[in-house]
Amino acid sequence: MDKKNVWKKYRGDDFTLLNVICDDYRQFLSKSKIEREAVRNSIQLAEKAGFVNLNTYIENQAPLVPGDKIYVNNRGKSVAFFIIGSEDITKGMNILGAHVDSPRLDLKANPLYEEKDFAYLDTHYYGGIKKYQWVTLPLALHGVIIRKNGEKIHVEVGEDENDPVIGITDLLPHLGNEQLKKEASKVIEGEGLDLLIGSVPFPEEDDEKKDKELVKKNILAILKDRYDIEEDDFLSAEIEVVPAGKARDFGLDRSMIMGYGQDDKVCAYTSLRAFLDAPACNKTISCILVDKEEIGSMGATGMQSNFYEDALLEICNLMGHTENTAVGRCFRNSNMLSSDVNAAYDPLYSDVMDKRNASYFNQGVVFCKYTGSRGKSGSNDATAEFIAKIRNVMDKHYVNFQISELGKVDAGGGGTIAYILANKNVNVIDCGVGVLSMHAPWEVTAKADIYEAYKCYLAFLQDA
């Protein structure tokens, strides 16, 4: 099917709203580099719009009524939002679901060491990355350290213009003949992704009695001064290593955005923004932002946990549905867009794409009937009936959309959270924004596609 560049269709109001949404998104992306930050910033936006923690209702045993706006904060790393509709919740919800974790490096439990008067932090990579892309970049530290007394210390180093940055060194090409003979996956090994963080020794008054590892000692003194922590406090820390710097307009025409973590915060933000902007709906609507998708959605904060089902059970109880079948009825009558990104067609790497079934920049939001890998393994595979319904909603609201696969059948594959809700008998299809350089430290999206995603999510919440 022949799709047109959507910029040709826009008029004055489209340009205005597009720029507002993309400017707000770029700012959100810059200050939400890790899942904790994304959840915190999302809750702040929701609370400004009148949302209340579900625990308040539970503690007071207050009934939920149409129009109530509630959220469930799951350990500060995933969150679910609900707006109660006028229709019985067991008749189903319209759900948007995205993830807020992104490929990165994590500090190991015992990360700090010294080697030949250099101080380093040892890391373990998280999610699917090309390891060679992470060397010689300015990097930043984001996360939390929890002291034994429970005190939470927020860490952010490398983002303020007055902060230092850190990074991973690489071998000079003059001595890299053997390195360059390696496969790309082995040019930089996982254990070689160690961060250089210092080289100044701790001052000692008596050189004859000086301690070993004085550079490490100096780093510990800096950490003690800034955060009042000891080396052992790394044992109860979650510190993530991400590219330093803000998201930026990309292209001389400013038609694109380059930033870290657009998989999947480009869909998380547009889903949340549409959810908060949605008018009163007959159906209950929900927006889920979850952790751990990049490593299989496992764990207490991933979509495979029971946190969303438990929240829905609490909501049903507060609405008078105490029967065991209420949550099951709600799920089987619900519709969901699994808001996740797609691999956009890149002319420089066209050999892995099926041109007739690829997604393209500036042609609108992307629906993906199935993901998975060879033979649709691990895929949700949305039904034809649900796709027909979605097509009708998109056309009704003049949303520009395209339908795509991830790439050629045997080229590889990937997955989303779609199958997890589908396993609960929810109608689900993947729907998101095309991305260039996906999973690289800096990814690129098209502003027109971001705008169309917002329009799509808003239309879905109202009419699915």
Structural tokens at position 1: 């099917």
Domain ranges (residues) in the chain:
6-102+260-463, 104-243
Spatial CA neighbour of 290 closest among 88, 39, 463: 39
* Alpha-carbon span 219 to 390, nearest angstrom: 55
Classify residue 153 as exposed, middle or buried by CB count within 10 Å of its CB (0-12, 13-18, 19+). Answer: middle
SS3 396: helix
Which pLDDT belongs to residue 2?
Answer: 65
Q: H or E element: which one contains 328?
A: helix 326-332
User: Quick check: 112 and 216 in contact, CB under 8 A?
Assistant: yes
Which residue in this structure is represented by tokens 């027109």? Answer: 448
Instruction: Tell me what pLDDT residue 212 has.
Output: 82
pLDDT confidence of residue 211? 66
Segments in 405-446 forming alpha helices (H): 418-422
Residue 370 has a pLDDT of: 82
- pLDDT score at 411: 67
Dihedral of CA 413/417/423/429: which sign?
Answer: negative
Task: Report yes or no: 338 and 321 within 8 Å, Cβ to Cβ.
Answer: no
Selection from 290, 294, 293 nearest residue 77 by Cα: 290
Q: Give the integer Cα–Cα distance in Å for 146 and 155.
A: 11
Beta strand 342-343 pairing with 195-198: unpaired
pLDDT string in tens for the chain (464-residue length): 667 899 999 988 999 999 999 999 999 999 999 999 999 999 999 999 999 999 999 999 899 999 999 999 999 999 999 999 999 999 999 999 999 999 999 999 999 999 999 999 999 999 999 999 999 999 999 999 999 999 999 999 999 999 999 999 999 999 999 999 999 999 999 999 999 999 999 987 655 556 688 999 999 999 999 888 999 999 999 999 999 999 999 999 999 999 999 998 999 999 999 999 999 889 999 999 999 999 999 999 999 999 999 999 999 999 999 888 999 999 999 999 999 999 999 999 998 888 888 899 999 999 998 887 777 777 788 899 999 999 999 999 999 999 988 777 766 667 788 899 999 999 999 999 999 999 999 999 999 999 999 999 999 999 97
Q: Is the domain defined by 6-102+260-463 classed in CATH 3.20.20.80?
A: no
Task: Label residue 148 exposed, middle or buried (CB < 10 Å: 0-12, 13-18, 19+).
Answer: exposed
Q: Is the pTM of this model over 0.85?
A: yes
Q: Residue 222 corresponds to which amino acid?
A: I
Question: Domain 104-243 sits in which CATH superfamily?
Answer: Aminopeptidase i, Domain 2 (2.30.250.10)
Nearest to 17 by CA among 270, 390, 280: 270
- Whole-angstrom CA distances from 341 to 110, 344, 449 are 34, 9, 11
pLDDT at 207: 56
The span from the CA of 319 to the CA of 88, in Å, is: 9
Contacts of 345 (CB under 8 A, 6+ apart): 353, 355, 358, 359, 360, 361, 434
